[in-house]
Amino acid sequence: MASVIVVVLAVVYLFIPAVVCAEVLWKLECQPTVGIAAQTTVIRCPIKHSGQIEVFGVALTKVKQEKPVFEHIINKTPLGDPRFSLVNPAKDPSLQISDTVFSDEGEYEYYVVTNMGEKRARLSISVVANYRDPVTSSWPENVTDGGPVNLYCNATDGYPAGTIHWFDKSETNRTIDSIMTKAIKETNGSKSVALSSKLSIDSSLAPFRCVVLNSKFVKEGEKTFQIILKRDSEQEHSNTRNIVAGVMVIGSLTAGLLFSLLFCQRRSVQNVRRASAQPILSDYDPGKTADPDLETGTETGAFCNRHWKKKCLVKKQNASFDKI
């Protein structure tokens, strides 16, 4: 910073006779700045003056540090953190920071030299982080219509700590019935807060809205979700089971009928075969004393040839003796 001050003062002293009276006519005021992590932050430091004014050089130093964070003499190469720069060199001492980080937070002293003299001002920078889109879930996943349900809403990577609000279908705020937890995390200079909220409520009040608010109660995200009713799911499963059961019953009856028909057909075929295979003996009556055609041997001969040859021979002999 010493190098900048020497050069700037040398320039200033050249203009002292002309600017002593004009110096009191302009002011340098820097507004408190809130930056967003990983985004570009603009630090407004407007010069209040009715006439034309020209900036010669600036130097930004963090309080309790000796070396400037950023210094720039117009038309010269800036020094310090390359993320810092002037918004409008030579015309406006306002600054901007690209890729803002949490280490940029703090109090600063800003030194500005113009063609009308030099001014110092204090400025502060705070850094926040936006929350990611909320993630919601319910337990149980399938809820009986009108039954109790636990709703969950989570939002992460925000800073500083915010809050989560709940709204039902009538836009009634149900946050009072919820339980809120906050988990603060800081790693390598990066800060974040994880928000988690649980709401136990009657499912008949669905749909529900989960709204994420930052530390200034500004909405950063929301999620609307419906409740899956168990009644509809059970009815669908019941219908499916009924259809499957009906198909199984019809299939069983059809199979039984086909089996019965096949069995009856086989029994019928077997009876026919047995009837055709019975011998002519079924027409023979052992109580008869003589064949009507014994002399010709027609029926008896056919009968003898098939079954009872010996008995038939005896009958023939007896018949012959009777004739004698």
Give the domain CATH number at 210: 2.60.40.10
Residues 42 and 149 placed together within one structural domain of the fold: no
Which residues constitute the domain of residue 198? 135-226
**Residue 182 falls inside a structural domain:** yes
Residues 73 and 19 placed together within one structural domain of the fold: yes
Residues 50 and 15 placed together within one structural domain of the fold: yes
Residues 34 and 96 placed together within one structural domain of the fold: yes
| Structural domain ending residue among the three candidates 87, 108, 128 | 128
Which positions of the chain have pLDDT values less than 70? Answer: 1-24, 230-249, 251-252, 255-324
Residues 113 and 139 placed together within one structural domain of the fold: no
Residues 6 and 124 placed together within one structural domain of the fold: yes
Q: How many CB atoms lie within 10 A of CB 280?
A: 11
Length of the chain: 324
Q: What is the structure's pLDDT at 59?
A: 97
pLDDT digits (tens, 9 = 90+) for 165-203: 999 999 999 999 999 999 999 888 889 999 999 999 998
Residues 120 and 147 placed together within one structural domain of the fold: no
**Residue 231 falls inside a structural domain:** no
Q: What is the structure's pLDDT at 142?
A: 77
Cα–Cα distances (Å) from 219 to 39, 131, 212, 261, 292, in that order, read 18, 10, 6, 77, 123
Residues 75 and 141 placed together within one structural domain of the fold: no
Residues 61 and 171 placed together within one structural domain of the fold: no
Q: What is the structure's pLDDT at 242?
A: 60
Residues 73 and 170 placed together within one structural domain of the fold: no
| Structural domain ending residue among the three candidates 106, 128, 150 | 128
Residues 80 and 185 placed together within one structural domain of the fold: no
Q: Take residue 209 and report the two structure tokens written for it.
A: 């809205």
Q: What domain count does the chain have?
A: 3
Closest C-alpha to 114, from 193, 44, 184, 27: 27
d(CA 87, CA 36): 18
CA atoms within a 13 Å half-sphere pointing along the CA-CB vector of 169: 9
Q: What is the structure's pLDDT at 299?
A: 46
H or E stretch covering 244: helix 230-277
Strands 117-128 and 106-114: antiparallel
Which residue carries 């002999």 as its tokens?
A: 317
**Residue 174 falls inside a structural domain:** yes
Cα–Cα distances (Å) from 86 to 83, 255, 265, in that order, read 10, 90, 104
The three state secondary structure string of 286-323 is CCCCCCCCCCCCHHHHHHHHHCCHHHHHHHHHHHHHHH
**Residue 237 falls inside a structural domain:** no
**Residue 256 falls inside a structural domain:** no
**Residue 217 falls inside a structural domain:** yes
Q: Which residues contact 232 (CB under 8 A, 6 or more apart)?
A: none
**Residue 262 falls inside a structural domain:** no
CA atoms within a 13 Å half-sphere pointing along the CA-CB vector of 180: 18
Q: Is-contact 91 1, C-beta < 8 A?
A: no
| Structural domain ending residue among the three candidates 104, 128, 152 | 128
Q: Is-contact 196 153, C-beta < 8 A?
A: yes
Q: What is the structure's pLDDT at 10?
A: 46
Residues 26 and 105 placed together within one structural domain of the fold: yes
d(CA 262, CA 105): 93
Q: Is-contact 223 209, C-beta < 8 A?
A: yes
- pTM: predicted TM-score of the whole model, two decimal places: 0.60
**Residue 260 falls inside a structural domain:** no
Q: What is the structure's pLDDT at 195?
A: 97
